[in-house]
């Protein structure tokens, strides 16, 4: 499969994104299926930017639209929130696989919003309703009533209604009836004491330490060969007298640290969508030989897009301004640091010796942690880490057997939590005996004393349905149970509007925080009792769900009043 629209045979041009229902033009050959390789619920988050969040209703809309437009394969189907949509599509199986498709407009072009209401109609055969299916789409932001096959349908804003037999609406994407879950961070251990930490600071290499020499600046990615995110670039020059100067480095990449004569003078990082940045720092030069060391950092490499072979990274130009004239060092004697005299060992010394393992940690000199740091690039380690999950004690290492926590998942909530970064530790990282946690602090202001080890369990579940919601979709198999020979199962499988909640495995409902039958206000995050409310709501729910792992109740007035 390939994301490229004109992918040649036998490659399949596929869609990868969030709105493939709208953006995918379809396969470029009748012999290729329409494939949605990844249904993104969000997207990679940019440091400092607001998180991108999608609702279950928006995801359902795009999935239904993709199917309506001849989509064949959807990976990552989101079974939990969209199981009702999948059941409705399953009821449309015959016409979807063998029917003829036609598209008809059911509404006028609304010039204000410039959005049209469409009907996606599959193999409409009035003589055989099982071979007919329809997807009624409303792209307007208000409710709309349309007429289709002698019937009227009220469509919710920005929604698609699925009619498996071109008659009754079985599912509407704006009415996803799935539970909402809330996760809560529960601190298990605070690493707030300086006695719990030791530190080791990287040594800034000199020009004589370098193993590769070049008469010009080398490109970052070709030099490191993806063996490390870090590359030292070092040069030295003669200065006839002491002088206050300005170092200017034009850089393509993510981060750049600068050192003069072994002392840190500053860092810069790129801004999202702006590849190039300029590091400009004041520095004091000595009389004689001066050494400039630049640490280029790439937080991952480009992995998609056209002309990847033309992408470049690293420092592109270096000059020093002494107040009267500029000295250019693009074509100069540069040294590049490789710890074992091989390109495969580009990076920091701590990486080369595996300082994050017990064996590697013994090869460097550690000292007691102190709050004040004169240099960045400090490794912090703690052996006092203990984690108790579900009564089982374990441990973790940030890089156990080269597995990095920092490169897995970080989560940024937004403005209220702008100073908080969470890193996910997979349970498979937890070992029964080892208790080593190692962290690399690139910034001089880094402080590990604020680190806590938390668990993030599901603590609350919530469900909400209204009279405008649809009952759960009845599959074809369950419908067969409603025939005369299975009348004893009729009550179990008949369509009734209901709320369904389920706890994670091994958990049970211990408390009901809020329940209201009537006209409650708000949503699952902010709610209150409305003008109409049954006083029995809380008692009904408590009797039905307390000390149970799952809960289901019908929205019928006779049980609430």
Q: Is residue 181 part of a domain?
A: no
CATH number of the domain within which 543 lies: 2.60.120
Distance CA 96, CA 135 (A): 11
Give the residue-averaged pLDDT of 121-128: 45
Let me know whether 28 and 158 are in one domain. Answer: yes
Contact 537, 516 (CB under 8 A): yes
Let me know whether 24 and 46 are in one domain. Answer: yes
Let me know whether 82 and 213 are in one domain. Answer: no
Let me know whether 141 and 89 are in one domain. Answer: yes
Q: Residues with Cβ < 8 Å from 371, sequence gap 6 or more?
A: 194, 447, 449
Distance CA 249, CA 259 (A): 12
Q: Residues with Cβ < 8 Å from 408, sequence gap 6 or more?
A: 423, 424, 426
pLDDT, residue 96, reads 83
Q: Which residue has the higher pLDDT, 338 or 377?
A: 377
Flag whether pLDDT at 118 surpasses 50.
no
Q: Is residue 470 part of a domain?
A: yes
Query: Does the CA dihedral 210-213-218-222 come out positive or negative?
Result: negative
Let me know whether 32 and 146 are in one domain. Answer: yes
Flag whether pLDDT at 231 surpasses 70.
yes
Distance CA 515, CA 460 (A): 13
Does residue 58 sit in helix, strand or coil? helix
> Could you tell me the pLDDT band of residue 375, with boundaries at 50, 70 and 90?
confident
> Where is the domain boundary, 347, 362, 384?
347
> Where is the domain boundary, 404, 424, 455?
455
Let me know whether 160 and 36 are in one domain. Answer: yes
pLDDT, the chain, mean? 80
Let me know whether 162 and 307 are in one domain. Answer: no
Closest CA to 486 of 500, 474, 471, 497: 474
Give the residue-averaged pLDDT of 216-222: 90
Let me know whether 407 and 509 are in one domain. Answer: no
Torsion of CA 329, 331, 333, 338, to 10 degrees: 100
> Could you tell me the pLDDT band of residue 266, with boundaries at 50, 70 and 90?
very high
Torsion of CA 484, 487, 489, 491, to 10 degrees: 120
Give the residue-averaged pLDDT of 256-261: 95
> Could you tell me the pLDDT band of residue 95, with boundaries at 50, 70 and 90?
confident
Q: Is residue 2 part of a domain?
A: no
Task: Report pLDDT digits (tens) over 424-437.
Answer: 777 777 776 666 88
The phi and psi torsions of 404 (rounded to 5 degrees) equal: -100, 125
Distance CA 376, CA 382 (A): 18
> Could you tell me the pLDDT band of residue 402, with boundaries at 50, 70 and 90?
very low
Torsion of CA 534, 536, 539, 541, to 10 degrees: -40
Distance CA 528, CA 251 (A): 54
Q: Which residue has the higher pLDDT, 194 or 417?
A: 194
Task: Report pLDDT digits (tens) over 141-172.
Answer: 888 888 888 888 888 899 999 988 888 899 99
Distance CA 350, CA 310 (A): 31
The phi and psi torsions of 492 (rounded to 5 degrees) equal: -70, -35
Q: Is residue 8 part of a domain?
A: no
pLDDT, residue 122, reads 42
Give the residue-averaged pLDDT of 261-280: 89
Torsion of CA 439, 443, 448, 451, to 10 degrees: -90
The strand order across the sheet containing 15-17 reads 15-17, 35-39, 73-74
Structural domain including 546 reads 460-559
pLDDT, residue 148, reads 83
DSSP letters spanning 88-118: HHHHTHHHHHH--EEEEE-S--BTTTTB--E
CATH number of the domain within which 276 lies: 2.60.120.260
Give the residue-averaged pLDDT of 14-38: 91
Query: Distances in Å between the alpha carbon of 143 and those of 99, 139, 160?
Result: 30, 10, 12
Query: Distances in Å between the alpha carbon of 470 and those of 58, 176, 297?
Result: 17, 9, 53
Query: What is the count of structural domains for the chain?
Result: 4
Flag whether pLDDT at 389 surpasses 60.
no
Q: Is residue 269 part of a domain?
A: yes
Flag whether pLDDT at 129 surpasses 60.
no
pLDDT, residue 271, reads 81
Flag whether pLDDT at 395 surpasses 60.
no
Let me know whether 438 and 534 are in one domain. Answer: no
Let me know whether 413 and 310 are in one domain. Answer: no
Strands annotated E in 217-365: 230-239, 243-252, 255-260, 263-269, 276-285, 288-297, 314-321, 326-328, 334-336
Give the residue-averaged pLDDT of 188-204: 90
> Where is the domain boundary, 397, 426, 455?
455
DSSP state of 338: B
Let me know whether 399 and 334 are in one domain. Answer: no
Q: Is residue 511 part of a domain?
A: yes
Q: Is residue 179 part of a domain?
A: no
Flag whether pLDDT at 33 surpasses 60.
yes
Let me know whether 417 and 343 are in one domain. Answer: no
Contact 549, 508 (CB under 8 A): yes
Give the residue-averaged pLDDT of 549-560: 79
Q: Crossing angle for the helix pair 56-68 and 79-91, nearest 10 degrees? A: 30
Q: Which residue has the higher pLDDT, 47 or 538?
A: 538
Q: Is residue 403 part of a domain?
A: yes
Give the residue-averaged pLDDT of 482-511: 69
Flag whether pLDDT at 256 surpasses 90.
yes
């Amino acid at each position: 499969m390939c994301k490229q629209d004109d992918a040649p045979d036998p490659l399949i041009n596929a869609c990868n994104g969030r709105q493939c229902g709208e953006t995918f033009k379809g396969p470029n050959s009748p012999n290729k299926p329409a494939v949605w390789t990844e249904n993104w619920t969000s997207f990679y988050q940019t440091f400092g930017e607001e998180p991108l969040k999608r609702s279950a209703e928006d995801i359902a809309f795009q999935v239904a639209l993709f199917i309506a437009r001849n989509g064949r394969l959807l990976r990552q189907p989101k079974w939990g929130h969209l199981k009702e949509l999948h059941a409705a599509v399953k009821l449309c199986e015959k016409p979807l696989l063998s029917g003829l498709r036609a598209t008809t407009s059911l509404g006028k072009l609304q010039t204000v919003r410039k959005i049209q209401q469409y009907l996606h109609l599959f193999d409409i055969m009035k003589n055989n309703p099982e071979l007919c299916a329809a997807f009624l789409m409303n792209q307007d932001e208000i409710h709309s009533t349309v007429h289709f096959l002698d019937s009227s349908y009220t469509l919710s804003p920005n929604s698609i209604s699925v009619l498996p037999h071109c008659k009754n609406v079985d599912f509407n994407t704006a009415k996803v009836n799935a539970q909402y879950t809330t996760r809560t961070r529960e601190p298990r251990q605070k690493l707030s004491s300086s006695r719990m930490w030791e530190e080791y600071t990287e040594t800034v290499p000199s020009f004589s330490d370098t193993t590769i020499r070049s008469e010009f600046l080398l490109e970052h990615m070709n030099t490191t060969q993806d063996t490390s995110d870090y590359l030292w670039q070092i040069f030295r020059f003669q200065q006839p007298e002491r002088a206050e100067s300005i170092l200017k480095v034009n850089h393509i990449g993510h981060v750049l640290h600068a050192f003069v004569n072994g002392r840190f003078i500053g860092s810069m990082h790129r801004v999202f969508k702006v590849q190039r940045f300029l590091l400009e720092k004041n520095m004091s030069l000595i009389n004689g030989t001066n050494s400039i060391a630049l640490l280029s950092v790439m937080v991952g490499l480009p992995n998609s897009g056209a002309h990847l072979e033309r992408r470049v990274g690293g420092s592109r130009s270096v000059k020093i301004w002494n107040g009267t004239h500029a000295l250019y060092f693009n074509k100069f004697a540069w040294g590049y640091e490789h710890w074992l005299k091989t390109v495969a060992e580009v990076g920091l010394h701590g990486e080369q010796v595996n300082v994050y393992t017990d064996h590697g940690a013994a090869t460097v000199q550690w000292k007691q942690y102190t709050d004040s740091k004169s240099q960045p690039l400090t490794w912090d380690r703690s052996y006092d880490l203990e984690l108790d999950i579900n009564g089982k004690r374990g441990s973790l290492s940030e890089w156990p057997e080269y597995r990095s926590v920092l490169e897995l998942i970080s989560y940024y909530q937004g403005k209220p939590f702008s100073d908080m970064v969470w890193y996910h530790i997979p349970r498979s990282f937890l070992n029964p005996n080892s208790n080593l946690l190692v962290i690399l602090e690139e910034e001089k202001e880094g402080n590990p004393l604020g680190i806590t080890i938390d668990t993030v369990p599901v603590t609350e579940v919530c469900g909400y349905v209204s009279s405008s919601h649809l009952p759960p979709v009845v599959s074809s198999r369950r419908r067969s149970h409603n025939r005369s020979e299975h009348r004893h199962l009729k009550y179990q499988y008949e369509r009734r509007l209901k709320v369904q909640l389920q706890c994670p495995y091994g958990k049970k409902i211990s408390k009901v925080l809020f329940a209201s039958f009537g006209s409650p206000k708000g949503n699952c995050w902010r709610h209150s009792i409305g003008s109409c409310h049954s006083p029995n709501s809380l008692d009904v729910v408590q009797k039905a769900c307390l000390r149970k792992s799952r809960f289901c109740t019908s929205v019928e007035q006779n049980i609430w009043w």
